[in-house]
Structure 1
Amino acid sequence: MYANLRVTRNTNSISVKQMCNLLGLKTKAAYYKKEMGNVNFTLIEAKKISDFFNMPIEEIFFKQICS
């Protein structure tokens, strides 16, 4: 699961539909599969998300959330 991505998306009040539009996905289910880690994001998708949130890819996809 990409917990940082989910937290970032929710913190910025970005809907799953908006993420689908950003990535060119046809269904919310397709996006959820990626956010949950069942399907990998492509590097191009990761770059689009990184640019959208103005954050490094590493911070969104690789850093652990500290509890």
Structure 2
Amino acid sequence: MTNGQIHLRAERVREMIHVIMGEGRLGMRSARTLAEAEAFANALLRMVEEIRAEQRTTADNFS
């Protein structure tokens, strides 16, 4: 994963945080129910874990 891809994914994470917090932006609506907020939070956690795994792989490749 390139730095640009990580940046784009990080921006998506920030957008999802805003949705969970009820501050929808960029055409996204706020989560209206606990179930929606939980689904967004779970997706967010998966995305963060993917970013961390990519960063570990990249760091290992340069060690």
Q: TM-score, normalised to structure 2's length?
A: 0.27
> Which structure has greater helix proportion?
2
Q: TM-score, normalised to structure 1's length?
A: 0.26
Bigger radius of gyration: 2
